[in-house]
Amino acid sequence: KNEVEQSPQNLTAQEGEFITINCSYSVGISALHWLQQHPGGGIVSLFMLSSGKKKHGRLIATINIQEKHSSLHITASHPRDSAVYICAAVPGFQKLVFGTGTRLLVSP
């Protein structure tokens, strides 16, 4: 079992829907990243969280350190949001453990 689990593995949505991707981890962490991997393969950092909530445009990320859980929300989803979303936990100095990824497909 991976130390960082994501759900769902695959997600399809209609344009405009509200989307939630979950990330749970079994180790103590100091921070957590959300990344987006485009269909072309490039990886972009979306958020780095150590507590609370962050918002950027239509994307919102939350983390509950005590419950070992983070969520990524996309409001008013759009086909260009179709990508793989990956969470990555920071369990120690200079360490990074990746989740298994969630493949999102948003249809027009």
Partner 1 sequence: DTAVSQTPKYLVTQMGNDKSIKCEQNLGHDTMYWYKQDSKKFLKIMFSYNNKELIINETVPNRFSPKSPDKAHLNLHINSLELGDSAVYFCASSPRGTRYEQYFGPGTRLTVT
* Region 73-102 residues binding partner 1, contact defined as CB under 8 A: 84, 86, 88, 90, 93-98, 100-101
> Which residue's CB is nearer to partner 1, number 31 or number 60?
31
Size of the site for partner 1 (CB under 8 A): 24
| Whole-number Cα distances in Å, 66 to 34, 52, 72, 102, 106 | 18, 11, 17, 23, 32
- State the Cα torsion 72-78-79-80 to the nearest 10°: -70
Out of 11, 13, 23, 33, point to the residue binding partner 1 (CB under 8 A). 33
Out of 5, 17, 20, 48, point to the residue binding partner 1 (CB under 8 A). 48
CA distance 34 to 87: 5
Work out the number of other CB atoms within 10 angstroms of the CB of residue 42.
9
Out of 35, 63, 104, 106, point to the residue binding partner 1 (CB under 8 A). 35
According to DSSP, the residues that pair with 106 across neighbouring strands are: 13
> Where on the chain is the footprint of partner 1 (CB under 8 A)?
30-31, 33, 35, 37, 41-45, 48, 50, 84, 86, 88, 90, 93-98, 100-101
